[in-house]
Amino acid sequence: MRRILITGAAGFIGYHLTLALINNPENDIIGIDNINNYYDKSLKLGRLNALGILLGKKDDRAVIQSEISKNFRFKELDINHKEELFKLFNYFRPDVVVNLAAQAGVRYSLSNPEEYILTNIVGFFNIVECSRDFKVSHLLYASSSSVYGLNNSYPFRESDPVDHPISTYSFSKRSNELLAHTYSHLFNLPTTGLRFFTVYGPWGRPDMALYSFTDSIINRKEIELFNNGEMYRDFTYVDDIVKSINLLIDLPPRKQYNDELMPNTSSAPFRVLNIGSGKPIALTDFVIEIEQKLGITAKIKLVPMQPGDVISTYADTTALRELIKFSPMTQFSHGVSNFVDWYLSYHKLS
């Protein structure tokens, strides 16, 4: 039996990963999440409900067994609370940790930077410390394409410099990679950083483009397209993210002996990997796809670039493909269609 701890299990990617992993009876999974109010809690509770978890008023802090799966349990817990986290590690003794708990959102980080320091840096430190103390065999953690910052060499490669972050969010994610490397080097802790590129799909966050655009189009509200619509994103379907993580879980990095040190290589059991589609999509084409699915024309307002934003993201996934013989492949039109179908169902509009 493989014991897996998933942090951020009530989040977008965490929910989908948990759903995939509980189908394997060889997995014993415990999920944690602080269920904060960054966005509507009902969406997080809906994800947990879909996993068979119903939080009651009296036992919402307990480890609760899923009603639909004997190999999944859930505990409401904040990774900033080190003592509680240590107790959970001591109770569960995970073999693998997948850290998806984080304060998300680039724009939110401009006005609330302290949230990113507390969760993305202090909280991640607690995860790394517990993983070291309990000799976890593989720590995988969510990084982000935002670490590339001012890099304008396309496509983004893991070997590219990542020394110029442009938001507190991107800085916090890069700091995770540096801390992970330090612990990989000092304590032989195998770590894999997952640089996600604009993940989308059913159960996505309301602050993400696909959700907010769909919501605005349906409700005949105006959509703001930054940089006058000249923006491109490497949209990556959530199922492709989940499959990649699943294939990586049993492939912890090993010690290497390289003469040349690069941002993505080390003698330590450490790696970072891009997980993206490798096919940047213009935001204008993104909107058109939603319009065609809904049969409604969007009201568009072109506005200037916002601080903390980049014009384009574009992943080179060669390293991922060579390692797991897979790279994201879901067609953009198919992914958007799946999301819109979920949105209409979730909001009882179909």
User: What six digits make up the tokens of 173?
Assistant: 């994610």
| Amino acid at residue number 50 | A
| Amino acid at residue number 89 | F
- Residue carrying structure tokens 């059991």: 269
User: What six digits make up the tokens of 317?
Assistant: 């996934």
| Amino acid at residue number 32 | I
Q: Would you state the pLDDT for residue 113?
A: 85
Catalytic residues: 169
Quote the pTM value: 0.95
Q: How far is CA 335 from CA 16, 134, 179, 181, 332, in A?
A: 14, 39, 34, 34, 5
Q: Would you state the pLDDT for residue 123?
A: 96
What's the CA dihedral at 43, 44, 47, 49 to 10 degrees? -100
Gyration radius (Cα) of the chain, Å = 20
Q: Would you state the pLDDT for residue 82?
A: 96
Q: What is the pLDDT of residues 80-135, one digit of tens each?
A: 999 999 999 999 999 999 999 998 877 777 778 888 898 999 999 999 999 999 99
Helix (H) or strand (E) holding 76: strand 72-76
* Alpha carbons 241 and 238: distance in angstroms, whole number: 5
Q: Would you state the pLDDT for residue 259?
A: 56
The structural domains of the chain, ordered by start, are 2-197+237-276+315-329 (3.40.50.720)
Which stretches of the chain drop beneath a pLDDT of 50?
none
* Alpha carbons 251 and 256: distance in angstroms, whole number: 14
Q: Would you state the pLDDT for residue 228?
A: 85
User: What six digits make up the tokens of 135?
Assistant: 């000799």
